[in-house]
């Protein structure tokens, strides 16, 4: 799990509850990871036997390939640079997956680019294909305050507002969305994140409203037949 999600594994790892049905026990699919960095999501897809194109703005192979080869799935993964706003490969993929990219794409007031990103992904998917995603959302007052003062990019990052992702996915069918994570966002160090993640699982996630949680994740399916 650490090599798949890299940071705050207990929180972001909850995404697999929704993602797994689209990926497990399926014939080999063609998949795309956007904003891959170290290629953790490509690793997860390849471990299920799927062909994966692992992409970032710059070719991620130097960071990602050693991890993939450690798990002996490198033969299933190719690496490319990709600008998701000008992607090509229309209608080519069974699955497109990303984690924490929309806030960076929409930063510095470029909110409209989030919608353009989802539109590009919609075009990349085959009819019936799945978008799998996990993103930072604004969360509580305490999350917003901490990011503003303690995270160097926190003032410019475009964190998703409550309900925003639903609007971005208006062209998709079979949308499933969940929210998670409160206390774990404030932890420093793996041990403390694990402890706080456990407290979130037992206490905060069941009790707090979704708008106060800092991660939103889900899946959305492109209609089998789409009329523009």
Whether the model clears a pTM of 0.75, i.e. scores above it, the answer is: yes
| Predicted pLDDT of residue 226 | 54
Q: Is 140 helix (H, G, I), strand (E, B) or coil?
A: coil
CA-wise closest residue to 33 among 14, 9, 8, 61: 61
CA 167 to chain centre: 17
In this predicted model, what pLDDT tens digit does every residue of 175-190 receive, in sequence order?
999 999 999 999 888 8
CB 22 within 8 A of CB 44: no
| Predicted pLDDT of residue 227 | 52
d(C-alpha 157, C-alpha 108), whole Å = 7
d(C-alpha 20, C-alpha 32), whole Å = 15
Q: Characterize the bridge pairing of strands 215-221 and 125-136.
A: antiparallel
Residue-range domains of the chain with CATH: 2-221 (3.40.50.150)
pLDDT band at 194 (very low <50, low <70, confident <90, very high): confident
C-alpha radius of gyration, the chain, whole number: 17
Instruction: Give percent of the chain with pLDDT exceeding 90.
Output: 77
């Amino acid at each position: 799990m650490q090599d798949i999600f890299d940071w705050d594994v207990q929180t972001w790892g909850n995404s697999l509850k929704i993602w797994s049905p689209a990926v497990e026990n399926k014939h080999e699919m063609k998949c795309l990871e956007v904003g891959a960095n170290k290629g953790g999501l490509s690793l997860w897809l390849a471990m299920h036997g799927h062909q994966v194109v692992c992409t970032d703005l710059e070719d991620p192979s130097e960071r990602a390939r050693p991890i993939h080869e450690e798990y002996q799935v490198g033969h299933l993964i190719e690496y490319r640079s990709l600008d998701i706003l000008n992607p090509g490969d229309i209608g080519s993929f069974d699955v497109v997956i990303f984690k924490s990219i929309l806030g960076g794409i929409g930063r510095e007031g470029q909110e409209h680019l989030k919608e353009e990103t989802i539109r590009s992904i919609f075009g990349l998917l085959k009819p019936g294909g799945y978008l799998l995603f996990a993103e930072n959302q604004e969360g509580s007052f305490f999350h917003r305050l901490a990011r503003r003062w303690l995270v160097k990019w926190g003032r410019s990052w475009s964190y998703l507002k409550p309900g925003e992702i639903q609007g971005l996915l208006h062209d998709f069918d079979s949308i499933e969305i969940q929210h998670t994570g409160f206390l774990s966002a404030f932890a420093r160090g793996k041990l403390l994140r694990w402890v706080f993640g456990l407290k979130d699982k037992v206490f905060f996630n069941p009790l707090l409203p979704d708008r106060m949680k800092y991660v939103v994740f889900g899946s959305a399916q492109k209609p089998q037949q789409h009329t523009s």
